[in-house]
Structure 1
Amino acid sequence: MTTALITGGTSGIGLGFARRFAADGHDLILVARDQARLDRTAGELRDRHGVHADTISADLATPDGCAAVEKHIASTTVDILVNNAGHALAEPYPRSPLADEERMLDLLVRAPLRLTHAAIPGMTARGHGTILNIASVAGLLPAGTYGAAKAWLIHFSESLRLDLAPHGIRVLAVCPGFTHTDAPHIDTVPDWIWLTVDQVVDQAMKDLRRKKPRSIAGRHFKLYATAVHHAPRRLAARMARSRTPKD
C-alpha cells in the first residue's frame, strides 16, 4: 500500500487531496500546525476509508518544522508528496510587514524545496513516486510576492519533472484559480468564477495520468492561462493589476 504525505492536509485543497487519496486506498501522513484538527481529520479518514493516517504537527514556515517533517520522510516510505501548505497576505508588497512577507516565502518556497529534497532519494531508490506542488494561476502573472513565489514553484516543478522522469517519478504543478476553501471569501469575485476543491483535485488527477506539466481546472481559468501566455508582457502586467486568483 502506498503512502501520501500532504502538507496543509486538514483544510482546503490539501484536505481535498487527503480525501481523494484515502478513498483510493492510500495511507496518509497529514502535516499541519493544529494537532487537535490533525487528530480529528485523521480519525475521520480512518473511519471512513479504513486507511492508516499518521499526523505531524509542524510549522513549515520554520526550519525546525521543516526538519521534523524531513526526519519523518527519511524514516518511512513516502510514495506521494503533496506540497500544499501556504497562504497569501492581506496587503500587497511593500505594505505588508516584512516579517510576514518572509514567513510567506519560507512557507511557499523554502518548505517545498526542503521536503522535496528529502523525498527524492527514497523515490529514486524505489523507482517510482509522485510530487504534486500546489501553485496558483497567480504564478502566471507578475502578481507581487505571492505570485512570484508561485511562479518559482511552477518552474521548480517543471524542471524536476524533466530531471526525475528517468527515475519513474512524476511531478505536477497544480495551478488553481479562485477556489472555495476555508480562506475568507472575496465578495467582489462573481460566483461563477469560483472552483470547488473537488474540481481542482479531479483535474489534477486527470492531468497527472496524462503526464502533463501543469494542471489548471475550469475552462475560464484555462482560457485565462492561455491569454496570459500569449499576451505581450506589458498587457500581462496590466492584467495583474486587478485582483489575481489565489488558491
Structure 2
Amino acid sequence: MTRRALVTGATSGIGHAFAVELAKRGHNLVIVARTTDRLESVAAEIRTKYRVDVGVVTADLSTLEGMQTAANALTDSAQPVDLLVNNAGASLAGWFGTTDIADEDSQLNLLVRAPMHLMDAAIKTMAGRGGGQIINVSSVAAFTPRGVYSAHKAWLLNLSRWADVHYDDVNISVQALCPGFVRTEFHQRGDMDVSDVPRWMWLKPEQVVKASLTDLAHDRAVSIPSLRYKFLAFLARHLPAGVVTRAAKRGR
C-alpha cells in the first residue's frame, strides 16, 4: 500500500526537501502552506516528476482556523496519513522584551500550538489505524537558552521524546529533528543577519531530511544531522549550565 505524508511549510527549505524526498520514495503527499500559488506550483512539479498524488491545503498555522484546516486533513479517513512532518516555522529578528507581543503570540501559535494541535489529531487518528510516524522539526537551539525561539523548540523536543515512549504501544513513532543552521529562506524572511555564521556551520536541506528519515527508520527519537552538530549538542547537554548560558549569550 502506498503511504501518505502530510508536510507543513512544504513550499521551501526543509519542508520542500521533505516533500521531494518522500515523493522520490513513493509517498503520496498532502502539502500545507499559507500561499496557494506556491503550493500549486510545488504540487504540479512533484506530480510531474515523481508520479505521486499530491493534495494541497492552504492554511496559516499561526491561526486557530489554519490549525483546524490542517488537522482536518489528518483525520480524513478517505485519505489516511501515515507520516506527519511538523515543519512550518519562522523566527523574529529581535529579542523577547523588545519585540511586539502580538508577534510573539503569533510565533507561539506557529511553533508550539500548531504542532501540538496537529500531533493531537495525528495521534488520535493513527492510534485507531494501527500506528504511524511523526517528525517534529525542532532545532539544536532547543539545547541552549537563547530566547523565545529556543524555548519553543525545547518544548517541542521534550513533548516529542515523551510521546515517542508513551505511544510506542500503539505503534506510533515520534521524532524530534534538531538541525543547526540550514540554507533556506528562514533567516531572510525573519530579517536576520547571519553574515557572521561560519561556512562550516551551514547544512543543506536535503542533508537534513535524509538524516532525519534514516534516523526515523532506526526508531531514533532525536535526530541531530551531522557530526558537528551532534558534538555541539553533546556539549550543550553536558557542560555546566552556567557555561552554556554564557556561551549562548556571547553568540547573540
Instruction: State the secondary structure of the residue aligned to 1:170.
Output: strand
Structure 2 stretches of 5 or more lacking a match? Answer: none
Aligned to 1:122: 125
Partner amino acid, structure 1, of 2:59: A
Partner amino acid, structure 2, of 1:58: A
Aligned to 1:37: 38
Match for residue 140 of structure 1 among 126, 140, 143: 143
Aligned to 2:73: 72
Aligned to 1:217: 225
Aligned to 1:229: 237
Using the alignment, how far apart are the partners of 2:91 and 2:248 within structure 1? Answer: 15
Q: Is 1:99 paired with 2:99?
A: no
Aligned to 1:57: 58
- Cα deviation digits, residues 163-200 of structure 1 (max 9, x gap): 11111111100001000012327111111110001111
Using the alignment, how far apart are the partners of 1:210 and 1:51 within structure 2? Answer: 25
Partner amino acid, structure 2, of 1:188: D
The sequence identity of aligned pairs, in percent, is 40
Using the alignment, how far apart are the partners of 1:114 and 1:125 within structure 2? Answer: 17
Instruction: State the secondary structure of the residue aligned to 1:181.
Output: coil
Using the alignment, how far apart are the partners of 1:242 and 1:175 within structure 2? Answer: 21
Partner amino acid, structure 2, of 1:128: G
Using the alignment, how far apart are the partners of 1:71 and 1:173 within structure 2? Answer: 23
- Cα deviation digits, residues 38-67 of structure 1 (max 9, x gap): 000000000010000000111010011111
Using the alignment, how far apart are the partners of 1:242 and 1:70 within structure 2? Answer: 40
Structure 1 stretches of 5 or more lacking a match? Answer: none
Q: Is 1:201 paired with 2:209?
A: yes
- Cα deviation digits, residues 110-159 of structure 1 (max 9, x gap): 00000111111221122120100000000111111000000000000001
- Give 4+ residue runs of structure 1 displaced > 3 Å after superposition: none
Superposition RMSD in Å: 1.1
Instruction: State the secondary structure of the residue aligned to 1:31.
Output: strand
Aligned to 2:153: 150
Question: Structure 1 residues 242, 6: closer, same or farther in 2, change over 3 A?
Answer: farther
Partner amino acid, structure 1, of 2:119: T
Aligned to 2:48: 47
**How does 1:104-115 map onto structure 2 within 5 Å?**
104-115=107-118
- Cα deviation digits, residues 85-108 of structure 1 (max 9, x gap): 011110111111111111001100
Length-normalised TM-score, structure 2 = 0.94
Partner amino acid, structure 1, of 2:27: H
Using the alignment, how far apart are the partners of 2:196 and 2:118 within structure 1? Answer: 36
Deviates more, 1:77-86 or 1:178-187: 178-187
Aligned pair count reads 244
Q: Quote the offset at 1:72 in angstroms.
A: 2.1
Partner amino acid, structure 2, of 1:122: T
Q: Is 1:164 paired with 2:146?
A: no
Using the alignment, how far apart are the partners of 1:220 and 1:181 within structure 2? Answer: 19
Using the alignment, how far apart are the partners of 2:168 and 2:75 within structure 1? Answer: 21
Deviates more, 1:123-132 or 1:182-191: 182-191
Partner amino acid, structure 2, of 1:88: S
